[in-house]
Amino acid sequence: MFKTSIQDRYHTLLADYLFKPAETRLAEAAALGRELVFDNYPPEDIVEIHEEALVRFVREHPGVSLKANIHLTSAPLMELLMAFGMAYRERLAHHQMEKELRLAAIFFENTPDGVLIMNSQANIITCNKSFSAITGYAMEEVLGERVSFLQSDQRPASIYQTFTDSLGENDQWQGEVWVKRKNGSTFLARLNLRKVDDLDGEIMYYVGAYKDITAQKRFEEHLHHRATHDELTNLPNRTLFYDRLEHALTQAKRYEYKMAVLFIDIDDFKAVNDSYGHGIGDLVLISVAERVSENLRQADTVARWGGDEFACILERIREKQDAANIAQKVNARMSLPFKIDGQEIKISLSIGISIYPENGEDYKTLLETADIAMYSAKKGGKNSFSI
């Protein structure tokens, strides 16, 4: 046996139990959910506990926490207490793990993201309800399949090499991919792919979470389009025009070719608004935008500058006559009357042209030069262009 004192952390005098049979005393402590704390105390507080009773107790009542800070004369009992502490911690850890697994299962089944779990060969071993709802595939249709069967024509095959490289270095990959549904349609997904290793560092599973972001992307593109395009004509606005002009200048400088900037103003547009109203005037602006666009090359840019003014970027021209030819072509197209709301409306344009690098090497100088040339065309009689 060993000698020690007993103190009840919860203010119950467990010393009273010393006068009862050991099993009864300890069973009552277990029933009360107490924690037995064994500490060294002065000799006058010393009481005796039979080792065998305590051994039976810790074996039969694992729900009672024992904390020991004593000098024991019995090595087997010390080992038993240590083992009990380890077992108790393991029970807590196991309980916590079960709780976390239950939470993970709830999340797996109820998350709006489509989740796939694959083995180390990327064969699907399970999926959740959201995955089936998003893709149209039931679980039994995807079990054993390689994840590559979801590949869309819009997603390059090299994306799988990207997955492999990233997972080898970082254990996860995140990005946007196009996924094919069962009905053949596709959707844009944000994919979070993670590798799960065993204790030896070998791949056990891959877990992929797909989130359909098609609507979100469309909304973002819509907002971006509104921020960079004119609401009436749907042409690029000044913001996008400046961006494209800077890019065109960079390319022209790098590859040493010419380019041109055109500044266009509708002659006497105020008279159109006064005679037909602003509603008809807006329709005229839309029609002018369409005709100018039709007579530019695909690589060129036409933007609404504001009011009745437009600006154009002509990339990769050989000489300034190329720009002059396009201006003539646009004016010739404008000579045909517009038929709007049962009425024929005739308009003409004044066009100013500046050439890189002869008339300037930065966007500000080129725009100013084209603007001056446009006013020169107006003074020259309108319905013309000037370089």
CA end-to-end span of the chain: 112
Q: What percentage of the chain carries pLDDT values higher than 70?
A: 70
CB 144 within 8 A of CB 156: no
Task: Give the residue, 100 or 47, on which the prediction is more confident.
Answer: 100
At what angle are helices 363-379 and 238-255 packed, to 10 degrees? 110
Tokens 């049962």 found at: 342
Long-range Cβ contacts of 67-72 (<8 Å, 24+ apart): 67/35, 67/36, 67/37, 67/38, 68/38, 69/37, 69/38, 69/39, 69/40, 70/2, 70/4, 70/38, 70/39, 70/40, 71/40, 72/2
CB 22 within 8 A of CB 54: yes
**pLDDT for 177:** 87
- Mean pLDDT over each residue of the chain, to the nearest integer: 78
- 27 has a pLDDT exceeding 60: no
At what angle are helices 278-294 and 320-334 packed, to 10 degrees? 140
CATH superfamily of domain region 111-216: PAS domain (3.30.450.20)
Rounded to 10 degrees, what is the CA torsion of 313, 314, 319, 323? -90
Beta bridge partners of 283: none
- 175 has a pLDDT exceeding 60: yes
Architecture of the domain made up of 229-386: 2-Layer Sandwich (3.30)
**pLDDT for 168:** 64
Q: Give the residue-averaged pLDDT of 112-132.
A: 89
**pLDDT for 159:** 59
Q: What does the alpha-carbon distance between residue 35 and residue 9 come to, in Å, rounded to a whole number?
A: 7
Which residue spans of the chain are classified as CATH 3.30.450.20? Answer: 111-216
Which residue spans of the chain are classified as CATH 3.30.70.270? Answer: 229-386
**Least confident piece of the model among 73-87, 177-191, 213-227:** 73-87
**pLDDT for 193:** 87
Q: What does the alpha-carbon distance between residue 47 and residue 73 come to, in Å, rounded to a whole number?
A: 15
Q: What does the alpha-carbon distance between residue 89 and residue 43 come to, in Å, rounded to a whole number?
A: 32
The greatest distance separating any two alpha carbons of the chain, rounded to the nearest whole angstrom, comes to: 123
**pLDDT for 203:** 82
Amino acid 130 reads: S
CA nearest to 299, candidates 324, 317, 311, 320 = 317
Beta bridge partners of 301: 313
Tokens 């300034």 found at: 320
Q: What does the alpha-carbon distance between residue 348 and residue 267 come to, in Å, rounded to a whole number?
A: 6
Distances (CA, A) of 141 to 119, 132, 146: 16, 10, 11
Q: Give the residue-averaged pLDDT of 102-113.
A: 80
**pLDDT for 150:** 84
Model pTM score: 0.63
- 65 has a pLDDT exceeding 50: no
Peptide bond into 112 cis (omega under 30): no
Task: Give the residue, 162 or 103, on which the prediction is more confident.
Answer: 103
DSSP for 76-142 reads: HHHHHHHHHHHHHHHHHHHHHHHHHHHHHHHHHHH-SSEEEEEETTSBEEEE-HHHHHHH---HHHH
Q: What does the alpha-carbon distance between residue 378 and residue 359 come to, in Å, rounded to a whole number?
A: 20
**pLDDT for 240:** 96
Tokens 């393991």 found at: 90
Helix (H) or strand (E) holding 271: helix 269-276
Residue 49 pLDDT level (bands cut at 50, 70, 90): very low
* CA dihedral sign of residues 78, 81, 87, 92: negative
